[in-house]
Structure 1
Amino acid sequence: MELLDGSVAELAAAVRSGAAGAREVVEAAVRRIEERDPAVGAVVAVDPGPGLRRLEREGRPRGPLAGLPLLLKDLHAESADLPLSRGSRLFAGLPPLGTATVVARLVDAGAVVVGRTSSPELGLNITTEPELYGPTRNPWDPDRSAGGSSGGAAAAVAAGMVPAAHASDSGGSIRIPAAWCGLVGLKPSRGRNPMGPFRVDDWAGMSHEHAVTRTVGDSALVLSVTAGPAPGEPFSLPGMPAEIVPPRRLRVGVLTEAPGGGGVDPSYVAGVRSCAADLEALGHELVDLPPLDRAADVGPLLGRVVAGHLAAAVAEAEAGTGRVASRETLEEAVLDLLERGRRMTAVDVVQAQLALRGLAHALAAALGGVDVVLSPTTALPAPRIGELHTRRPARELFADIFRISPFAGVFNVTGGPALSLPWGTDGTGMPIGVMLGAAPGSDALVLGLAAALERTRPELVPLRP
C-alpha cells in the first residue's frame, strides 16, 4: 500500500476522507512487518487485535492521526493491551500497569496500535541488540546497527513498515537511530510530553518520549496530539500546534569538535558545514563554538544516576516476576551497573542528581550566547553489529557510547529540544544526521528551523535506503 510509504499527514487525510479504510491500512502494515521484519529484527510483538476491535466499535477514525498503524517501543510506552519486556529476560512477563498518557493520546487521535519495537535491555545502549531478541539491523546496511535505544522504531520506519513509530530518548535514543537510519528524530523539551502516570521522573528527568518520523511536518503533527500538561507530572509545558511557524533571524552556534578532543568523522563535519551554509543563505547569523568541555561530564554523571534508578527498577521487577537478577536474567554490563547501584546510598543518589542539575546550568551558560546549536548528531558512524556489545563492565560500555555520541546527551541534561535531521550520506552510503538543539521550551523554534532546512533540500528529507 503506497500510503505506508508517504507521510503520516497524507495517510490520515486519506482515512478521514474515506479514500482509504483504517482496517485496510492496518492490515497492510501488518503484512509489511511480516514480509520485511525477518531481515531487520525491528519488531518484537505484533497484535493489532485490540485496535481493530476498537475500529469496529467506533467506526472510521477522524482524528489527526486517523488510521496510523502505530508501533510502540518495548521500553516505556505502557499499554493495557500490549505487555512490555524492556528487552530483558528479568522484566519479561510483568503484567501491564495500564495505558500511559502519551499512548492514550495517540490512540484518541486515531492511531491504531499494531505492535512493539525492539529496545536494548532497559534502554542502556545506543545499539539495539538485546540478548532476549537478537540484533536490529540497519535497513541501509544489514551489517550495521540501527542505533538505540529506539533502534527498532527507526529500523521499522526506515524499512517502510510504518510511516512513524513511538520512541523515547534518555541520552540520544531518538536522535541517534534517526541519524543512522536517515529519519527525523525530535527529543522534545522536558515536560512537553507527559511521562506518566506509571513513571514520572525517569533518570532524574533525563528521559523524554516522542517519535521517529520521515518528515519534520510529521514530527510536529505527532507532537501536537501528545504534548501538554497532565496531572501529577513533575515537569509540564503547554501543548503544541501542528502548524510550523518559520523562525525569525537566529544566531546559530556551530559545534563540530567533540569534548576532550574526541574524534569526529570528517563527513559529519562536512555535513554540518554544508547545513551551516544553507542556514546562512536563509539569513541566519553563524558563529563557531568551541568544544563543550563540560559535556564530557554527562556520561559519568548520568551513569551514577542511572545506576541508582536501575537498582530500584530491578527490585520492583524481582518482586513482580519472582526472578532474581543474575547473569541468567540480565546482560553483563547491565548486571554490573545494577551492582554499582545497589552499593549506592540514598545520599549518593541525591548527590548525583544534584550534580546533574548543576551540570545543566553550566551547559546552559556555555550555550547562552546563541539561539540554536548546530552539530553532528553523533561523532561516528553506526557500528557494525556486535561491536558495541554488553559482555563487559558498564564503565567500558558507557565510555564507548559517549565516544561515539558526545553531543546528544547535552540536551537531555539541559532539558532543551534537539532534533536530528537527515543530511545526505557519507562515503559508504550511510545516512548523515545533523542536530539542532535549543533552550528548554524552544520546540517550535527548532521545528521551524528544521522545516526551513527541509525545504532547501527536498531530496534529503525523507531520505530512503
Structure 2
Amino acid sequence: MTTFEEQTTVHVFRDDALGEHDAVGLAEAIRRGEVSAAEAARAAAARVRDADALLHAVQTHVDAPAPAPAAGGAFAGVPTFVKDNTDYAGLPTGHGSAAFTPRAARRHAPFTRQFLSTGVTVLGKTRLPEFGFSPTTEYEGAEPVRNPWHTGHSAGGSSGGSAALVAAGAVPFAHANDGGGSIRIPAACCGLVGLKPTRGRVVPNAQGRQLPLDIVSDGIVSRTVRDSAAFLAAAEAHWRNPKLPPVGPPAEGPSGRRLRIGLLLDSPGGVTTDGPTREAVTATATVLEGLGHTVQPVELAMDPRFTEDFLTYWGLLSFLLGVTGRTLGSDFDRHRMDGLSRGLRETYTAKWRTTPGVVRRLRRTRVAYAAAFRGLDLVLSPVLAHTTPPLGHLSPAVPYETLLERILAYVAFTPVNNVVGTPSLSLPAPTATPDGLPVGVMFSARPGHERTLLDVAFALEADRPFRRPTDVPPLRP
C-alpha cells in the first residue's frame, strides 16, 4: 500500500467494474447487463478501502450492501454513500461529534428514502465536521478528511467525506447537504460539481424544517454535470414540490440559449477575493463570453448586518443542539462539543435577545437578491474568497476568535443562497492554483431555476472537460 508520505495525490480509478464511468454511464452499463450491481458494489468497496486508508473519508461501512428496492430507478445498482448527519436505518448517525455515543437509526430519514428511490446501493456513511458547522472536515481529536488532490489540504466541509470519495474515484457520486455552503465548498475544494437545490426542491431536511428559517438543502456531489442533472430529475420522480416549476426530464447537454450573467468578484460583505480565485472567475467569464453569453458586473446590495446576523443564526443552531442533544444520545455532553461549536453557542448566548430581529432581517435578504437579478439570468461569483487552505488553518482546535476570523474571510459568498433559498452551483474553474489544486466558481439563479444552472454547466463542461486527480499512478491493494 502506498503511504501518505510517498504520495500526496490520491485516486483509485482503475480497470474494474466501475471503470471510468460516471453514475449515468454505470447505470446504463448495469441495465445493459455489461456489469452487475453486485460487481459494481464489490469494485467500489475495494476502491473505497484503498482511498480511505489515506483520505479518512468514511464514517461507517455497510457490511452487506444491498441494492435499493427501486430496481428500475435511474441509478439502479450505482454504489454510493450517505452523509453521517442523515439517518439510514440500522446505522448510527454521529453528526461528526464526539459529544455523544450515536445509536443505530430505527428508520430512514425522509431524504434517505428519496435518495434510495433512485435505485442506488448504499455502501456506508461519510464523515463531516461536528454538526456540519465548519467549512473543513477536521476534528480536535481525530484524523481530518484529506483532499485527494493534495493530502495536506482541506477537502472542504461539511460534506468533505463525500467529496473526497467522489473526487478520488471511489464512487461516482455521494450524498451531501448544504446549510451555508456545505455542498458547494467541498465541491470547490475537490474539483467537483456541487448543486444546492432551491429550498423545497427535495423533501425537507429533518433538521432544517424545525428551524425558524430553513437553510438546509440536500443533494449530491458528482464528477459530471449530467450526474447532477439526472439525480435531480430522479429525485423529482419520487416527490415533486407543486410550488416549484418541474425539473422535467434530465437535461443532457447545453440548450444553446444565450444567457445574461452578472459578475460578482468580491463578496457583498466586503471580503476581497484573492488573486488565484479572482483569476479563476474572470477566466470563466471569458469562456462564457466566447460561448456567446453576455457577462456584466453586478452588485448585491446586502444589509450591512448580514454577516453578523448569519453568524448569530449559526450560533442559534449550536445553542439548540446543546439544549436538545440528549435526543441524539443519552450520554450527550455539550461540554464535549468542539471549540467551534462551543464558541458559536457562547456567541449566541450573549445575543439571544436579538433573535427576532436577526430572523426578520435574514428573511428580507430575498429583496436585495431579487433586485440584483433584474435583467439577469444568473450571477457568476467565487465559491470561496480564497483558495483551499492547508489542514490546520481552519481546525476546531484553533482559538475561537482566530478561527472565526479565518472562516469569515473564507466563506464569504455561499450563505446568501441558503438564507434566500435559491439554487446555486459550484463548478471547477478552467484554471487552478499554482500547485494544481482546483478552484471553484459559483453560479446562482432565481428560485426554481436549476435548469438554467445546469444549462451553463453543460456548456462549460463541454468546452473544457473538468480535470481529475489522475496525474499519479492509482493505488493498488
Give the structure-2-normalised TM-score. Answer: 0.88
Paired position in structure 2 for 1:246: 255
Cα contact 1:97–1:198 (8 A) shared by 2: no
Q: 2:360: which partner in 1?
A: 354
Which runs of 5 or more structure 2 residues have no equivalent in the other structure? 1-15, 472-477
Is the CA contact 2:139–2:397 (under 8 Å) kept in the aligned structure 1?
Answer: no
CA drift of 1:447 comes to 0.5
Aligned-pair CA distance for 1:100 = 2.0
Q: How big is each residue's C-alpha offset from its partner over 1:376-399, in whole Å with a ceiling of 9 and x where there is no partner?
A: 211211111111122356554333
**Partner amino acid for 2:199?**
R
User: Which residue number in structure 2 is paired with residue 313 of structure 1?
Assistant: 321
Question: Residue 413 of structure 1: CA displacement?
Answer: 1.9
Q: Which structure features the higher share of helix residues?
A: 1
**Which digits, 9 at most, give the CA deviation of each residue in 1:115-158, with x for residues without a partner?**
11110101111000123642011111111101111111111111
List aligned pairs for 1:35-114, cutoff 5 A. Answer: 35-49=50-64, 51-52=65-66, 61-75=71-85, 77-96=86-105, 98-114=107-123
Shift of 1:367: 3.5
Q: Equivalent residue for 1:30?
A: 45
Quick one: which of 449, 454, 457 aligns to 2:456?
Answer: 449
Structure 1 unaligned residues grouped into runs of 5+: none
Alignment of 1:254-333 (within 5 A): 254-259=263-268, 261-290=270-299, 292=300, 294=302, 297-327=305-335, 329-333=336-340
Give the 3 Å change call, closer, same or farther, for CA 425–203 of structure 1 in structure 2.
farther
Of structures 1 and 2, the one scoring higher in RCO (CA 8 A, sep 6+) is 2
Contact 2:100 2:329 in 1 (8 A): yes
The counterpart of 2:410, out of the listed 404, 411, 418, is 404
- Residue 201 of structure 1 and its aligned partner are, at CA, apart by 4.6
Higher mean C-alpha displacement, 307-316 vs 5-14 = 307-316
Partner of 1:186: 195
The 10-residue stretch of structure 1 (406-415 or 181-190) with the greater mean CA deviation from structure 2: 406-415
Report if aligned partners of 1:272, 1:376 keep a CA contact under 8 Å in 2: yes
Q: Given the superposition, is the C-alpha separation of residues 421 and 216 from structure 1 closer, same or farther in structure 2, using an over 3 Å criterion?
A: same
Query: What is the alpha-carbon distance in structure 2 between the residues aligned to residue 5 and residue 91 of structure 1?
Result: 40
In 1, Cα distance between the equivalents of 2:234 and 2:438? 29
Distance 2:428 2:376 in 1: 23
Compute the displacement of 1:433 (Å). Answer: 1.3
Change in CA separation of 1:296 and 1:393 when aligned onto 2, cut-off 3 Å: farther
Per-residue Cα deviation, 1:138-183 (whole angstroms, up to 9, x for no partner) = 1111111011111111111111111101001111111111111111
Shift of 1:326: 4.0
Provide the secondary structure at the position in 2 that maps to 1:44. Answer: strand
Q: Is 1:417 matched with 2:431?
A: no
Contact 2:75 2:120 in 1 (8 A): yes
Identity %: 35
Cα distance between partner residues in 2 of 1:368 and 1:92:
50
Deviation at 1:238, TM superposition (A): 4.0
Q: Deviations over 1:358-385 (max 9, x none)?
A: 1232233234342111112112111111
Contact 2:101–2:332 (CA<8 Å) still a contact in 1? Answer: no
Deviation (angstroms), 1:314 = 3.0
